[in-house]
Amino acid sequence: QVSWKLADHPTLPKGKTLALIVLDGWGEDKPDEYNCIHVAQTPTMDSLKQGAPEKWRLIRAHGKAVGLPTEDDMGNSEVGHNALGAGRIFAQGAKLVDIALASGKIYEGEGFKYISECFEKGTLHLIGLLSDGGVHSRLDQLQLLLKGASERGAKRIRVHILTDGRDVLDGSSVGFVETLESDLAKLRENGVDAQIASGGGRMYVTMDRYENDWDVVKRGWDAQVRGEAPHKFTNAVEAVKKLRENANDQYLPPFVIVDENEKAVGPIEDGDAVVTFNFRADRMVMLAKALEYQDFDKFDRVKVPKIRYAGMLQYDGELKLPGRYLVSPPEIDRTSGEYLVHNGVRTFACSETVKFGHVTFFWNGNRSGYFNPEMEEYVEIPSDVGITFNVQPKMKALEIGEKARDAILSRKFDQVRVNIPNGDMVGHTGDIQATVVACKAADEAVKMIIDAIEQVGGIYVVTADHGNAEDMVKRNKSGQPLYDKSGKLQILTSHTCQPVSFRNMHISSFTVIIT
Ligand code: 3PG
Ligand code: CO
C-alpha cells in the first residue's frame, strides 16, 4: 500500500486558500477578428498575462501531451480535466479502443462474448456519434467494429446514428452518412442484413450530459428502442439532407428509417444486443442508465426490451456502469482529489450543470460522488435548459463566481475549484458575437474569484482545459480563413489544437510543459 501522505511543498506557503480556475475552451492564439478572447474585453485575464509574464506559461492541451492518439487530435474536456485532476497523463479512451481494435483483443474480451451470444437469433444495434472528431467516438472505429462483428457472426445489424457538427464542421454529417451507407451496402453484399435504423442531432437526441435534460435521451429512446419519431424516411442520407433545411447537424430532430410499409426497420427488441460505441462517458452515461437499470424513473421508457448491452468502455468506474463493456477504460487512480482528502485538505468544487461533472467526475478520474463528503462540497448551479447557449452567452458565469467567492470568504475550504464554461459552450454554437459576450462574462467571473482570494491572502491558478473560443474559423495551412463553395466563411464550432495559458502566483514551484 503506497502512502497517501504528501510532503509539505518546498516553497508554497502553508494554510493558504487556493482558487483553481479552469476556463473551459480558452486557448491562446494570435489576435485577429475570429479570436473571440482577443476581441472581447477581458481586462482580468489580460492583466494576469501582462502584469507578470514570469508567472504566465503556455501548456499543451492536445494530442499526446494529454493521452490522445496523435498530434492532430484536438484537446477536449474529458482528457483535459482527467490530466489536470490526476496530474498524470493516461492513454485515453480513443487510444485504448484503437489498440484493442488493431490487436483484435476487443473480440476476445468478456464484453464482446456477452453480446455475441445474441448474434444467432437477434440483431446487433450500434448507437453513437457518427463523426471523426475523436472526442466521443470515431467513424473508423465504428467501421472496424462493423466489419469485426459481422465476421464474427452478426447477421443483422442496425446503426442508430447521432449527427455531430460540434467536434467537426457543420454539414459534415451528410458525408459521414454516405460513407456509412456505402459500408453497410458492402456488408449487405456479403449477406449481412445491415442498415441505418434511426438518427438525430447529438444535442437534441440522446447525448445530453449530467442529467441536464432527460427529454433529450427520451427522444432518442423513442426512435432507437420504440421505432417512433416525428420524421420517417426510407433513406438516411435523404433524411439528413432534408432535416438540415431547418436545423444544423447538432440539432437535427429525431428520425426513423422505415420500409415500404412505413414500418421502422430497426427498433430494439427482446433478444437483441446493443453497443453504445462512444468511448467518452459524459454524454453516454444517461442512455447507459436507461438501457441497463431495471428501476428507472427519469422518463417513461414504455418498452423495456430484454437485451444484452455493452458500452464501448465502462463509463462510470464508481457506479460500474455499464456492467459489460468492450474495452477497459483508463485506470485513473490516485487523483489529486483523493490525495487531498487523505491529507485533511478541504475542497469546494463548483460549476453549472453542463460542466459540473468536469470539475468533479472527470477531475476525479471518471468517478462519480465524493471521496469523503466531510472534506468536500460540490455545488451544481442548474444550467438553462432547452436553449442554445448563444442565446444566453453569459450562462451562469457570475453565479459560479459568486459561489466560489463565498466559499473562499467562508474560509471553510483550502481548495476552491471551478470550471467556467462560457468560452467552450458558446464557442461550440459557432456564433462569434455571442462568444465575445461569453468571454467577457468568463473574465468577470475570474475577477470575482481573484478579488476574494486577495481578500483572504490566498493563492490562485488560472488555466484552461483546451482551446475553442480563440479561433472560430476553419483555416488553410498558412492560417487564412477558408470559405465554402458559396463564398460563406467556414465557422469552426469545434475545439482547437492551441496551447492554453497557465497562470499562478508561484510559477517557479510548478512543473509546466512549455510549448
Ligand atoms: C461536447 O461534448 O460538448 C463536445 O463534444 C466537447 O466539448 P467538451 O470536451 O468541452 O465538453
Ligand atoms: Co467543448
Statement to judge: residues 413 and 475 lie in one domain: yes
Statement to judge: residues 308 and 430 lie in one domain: no
Axis-axis angle for helices 43-51, 432-456 (nearest 10): 60
Average of per-residue pLDDT across 104-122? 98
The residue with greater pLDDT, 506 or 509, is: 506
What pLDDT shows up at residue 504? 83
Q: What is the pLDDT of residues 271-322, one digit of tens each?
A: 999 999 999 999 999 999 999 999 999 999 999 999 999 999 999 999 999 9
Does residue 363 lie within any of the structural domains? Answer: yes
Statement to judge: residues 176 and 302 lie in one domain: yes
Q: What is the pLDDT of residues 2-48, one digit of tens each?
A: 899 998 888 777 889 999 999 999 999 999 999 999 999 999 999 99
CA distances, 168 to each of 26, 69, 199, 220, 280 (Å): 18, 17, 17, 21, 16
Looking at the chain, the whole-number percentage of residues with pLDDT higher than 90 is 94
Q: How many angstroms separate the alpha carbon of residue 425 from the centre of ligand 1?
A: 8
Q: Which of 288, 309, 327 is the last residue before a domain boundary?
A: 327
Nearest 5°: the CA angle 376, 381, 383 is: 145
pTM, whole model, 2 decimals?
A: 0.95
Please say if 494 is a catalytic residue: no
Does residue 3 lie within any of the structural domains? Answer: no
Does residue 4 lie within any of the structural domains? Answer: no
Statement to judge: residues 79 and 102 lie in one domain: no
The grid coordinates of residue 163 equal 449527427
Q: Is 98 in the pocket of ligand 1 (CB under 6 A)?
A: no
What pLDDT shows up at residue 510? 44
Statement to judge: residues 226 and 124 lie in one domain: yes
What pLDDT shows up at residue 508? 46
Please give the helix or strand (H or E) that residue 305 lies within, else none. none
H, E, C per residue of 235-300: CHHHHHHHHCCCCCHHHCCCEEEECCCCCECCCCCCCCEEEECCCCCCCCHHHHHHHHCCCCCCCC
Statement to judge: residues 144 and 119 lie in one domain: yes
Q: Which of 291, 307, 327 is the last residue before a domain boundary?
A: 327
Does residue 514 lie within any of the structural domains? Answer: no
What pLDDT shows up at residue 10? 83
The grid coordinates of residue 370 equal 465524493
Q: Which of 78, 164, 428 to mutate to test the pocket of ligand 1 (most atoms within 8 A of CB)?
A: 428
Statement to judge: residues 388 and 504 lie in one domain: yes
Q: Is 498 in the pocket of ligand 1 (CB under 6 A)?
A: no
Q: Is 76 in the pocket of ligand 1 (CB under 6 A)?
A: yes
pLDDT band at 505 (very low <50, low <70, confident <90, very high): confident
What pLDDT shows up at residue 138? 98
What span, in angstroms and rounded, lies between the C-alpha atoms of 206 and 226?
A: 14
The separation between the first and the last C-alpha atoms of the chain, rounded to the nearest angstrom, is 36
Asked whether 173 and 130 are in contact (CB, 8 A), the reply is: yes
CATH code at position 278:
3.40.1450.10
The residue type of 301 is R
What pLDDT shows up at residue 512? 41
pLDDT band at 506 (very low <50, low <70, confident <90, very high): low
Statement to judge: residues 321 and 461 lie in one domain: no
CATH code at position 401:
3.40.720.10
Statement to judge: residues 206 and 317 lie in one domain: yes
Query: In this structure, what DSSP letter does residue 107 have?
Result: G
Does residue 2 lie within any of the structural domains? Answer: no
Instruction: Provide the domain limits for residue 478.
Output: 18-91+331-509
pLDDT band at 236 (very low <50, low <70, confident <90, very high): very high
Q: Which of 327, 347, 371 is the last residue before a domain boundary?
A: 327
Number of domains in the chain: 2
Q: Is pLDDT of 382 > 80? A: yes
Query: In this structure, what DSSP letter does residue 483 have?
Result: B
Please give the helix or strand (H or E) that residue 392 lies within, else none. none
What pLDDT shows up at residue 346? 97
